[in-house]
Amino acid sequence: MSTAVVVGGGPAGLMAAERLASTGVAVTVYDRMPSPARKLLLAGHGGLNLTHSEGRERFLPRYGEAADRLAPALDAFGPDDLRAWCAGLGEETFVGTSGRVFPRSFRATPLVRAWLARLGDLGVRIERRRTWTGWAPDGALRVTTADGAVEEVRPDVTVLALGGASWPRLGSDGGWVGTLAERGIAVTPLRPANVGMCVTWSVGYADRFAGSPLKHVRLTVPGGPGRSVAVVRGDAMVTRTGIEGGPVYALGAAIRAALDADGRCVLEVDLRPDQGADQLAARLARRRPKESASTWLRRALGLDPVAVALLREATGGALPDAPEALAALAKAVPVVVTATMPIDRAISTAGGVEWSEVDEHLMLRRLPGTFVAGEMLDWEAPTGGYLLQASFATGFVAAQGALGWLARDTRG
């Protein structure tokens, strides 16, 4: 019987383990945590967003520069496949109003429980509190137990699925980067993705509006040399130390590029994206005598206190009186981002094993028989189901590649 080791008990690793075991391969999963799928369980606390229902033509571009690289995996195991897989575990899914896909229970626990039961039925052995520390000189995998003992295992194939570096308390700390680098494998530095951005608010603004949403805004990252303009709409959230939320996360790559180039990023906030500057100016021109600026903006433009205060924040409190100038400001309020929040506060990470290091089956070219899946690879995606979908898909494809390698090994 062929043997496989999967390092990492997250969605990518467990999907690889299931696919391998379903063909009769003896699979052992090594996970450094006391129980597997901890990140998946945490993701389910607010409703487990598994994938997204939008069509392929809109779905693929969500993965940015890695879209072409991920396309084969997403075609091999796409959103419909993931939903069918969930149904097979007894967890039917539904499409929410935003197009996001959730289990009907809206929780991760039933899905994970059913999944672990299936893996057990397939004979998958899950070794908990085991940390992979690299390779012995003869190529054996080295695994350290909770009490410090070192074990050496020699599987026929290996799938590495250790995640990125955004959840160190749940096991994903990026510690594998140095281990792979020692074998000459190129890794793009891991950086925070889907993370809040640092803004130096005035004390008064931070104290009053931390936790307040900027609703229905359009955020723009202006272009620069070699960089195109990036635009996203949605609801952002003011925090004590900056700004976060779905549209901010979606602009993460563009903001990081601007920070790398200039040391700062001027994020433009359009407070009324459905109306042109001329329309806003016409409304503002009808200011009533002795009307305060706050009342004027609320009545003319429908701005709430956090939005009015953002205009003041951008101008040091000196709002322009001319309707045209104020309208132009409302269409592009400058918010200076100075940095991203730390990686341990990120939802996911960018960077990882460079695509040139793996073949079309996600096998490391320098380590035949060793495959890589999930966030260890160099890709990123916004929230909305895209992260989990690509993790499941790359785990599936890495397992398929491992099966192909085993078959070739047998034929040889």
Residue 343 near residue 351, CB atoms below 8 Å:
no
pLDDT for position 409: 53
pLDDT for position 408: 84
Q: Exposed e or buried b for every residue in 95-122, given b needs 16+ CB within 10 A?
A: eeeeebbbbebebbebbbeebbebbeeb
Q: What H or E segment, with its residue span, contains residue 236? A: strand 230-239
Give SS3 for 203.
Answer: helix
User: CA quadruple 52, 54, 60, 61: dihedral positive or negative?
Assistant: negative
Integer Cα distance of 76 and 74 in angstroms: 5
Assigned fold of 3-192+348-411: FAD/NAD(P)-binding domain (3.50.50)
Across 9-88, the runs of DSSP E, i.e. the strands, are: 26-30, 51-52
Residue recorded with tokens 């009307």 = 291
Domain ranges of the chain: 3-192+348-411, 197-340
Residue 4 near residue 405, CB atoms below 8 Å:
no
Among 67, 69, 85, residue whose Cα is nearest residue 77: 85
Order of strands, sheet of 157-160, starting from the edge strand that comes earlier in the sequence: 125-127, 26-30, 3-7, 157-160, 370-372
Residue 335 near residue 267, CB atoms below 8 Å:
yes
Integer Cα distance of 139 and 352 in angstroms: 22
Residue 370 near residue 319, CB atoms below 8 Å:
no
Q: What H or E segment, with its residue span, contains residue 400? A: helix 386-411
User: CA quadruple 58, 62, 68, 70: dihedral positive or negative?
Assistant: negative
* The two structure tokens encoding residue 391: 């993790």
Residue 141 near residue 150, CB atoms below 8 Å:
no
pLDDT for position 377: 98
Low-confidence ranges of the chain (pLDDT < 50): 412
Q: Got the DSSP string for 3-59?
A: EEEEE--SHHHHHHHHHHHTTT-EEEEE-SSSSS-HHHHHHGGG----EE-S-HHHH
* The two structure tokens encoding residue 260: 């790398």
Residue-wise pLDDT for 201-218, tens only, equals: 999 999 999 999 999 999
> Which DSSP state fits 155?
-
Integer Cα distance of 367 and 186 in angstroms: 13
Residue-wise pLDDT for 2-55, tens only, equals: 999 999 999 999 999 999 999 999 999 999 999 999 888 887 677 899 999 999
Paired sense of beta strands 150-153 and 157-160, if any: unpaired
User: CA quadruple 131, 134, 139, 144: dihedral positive or negative?
Assistant: negative
pLDDT for position 374: 98
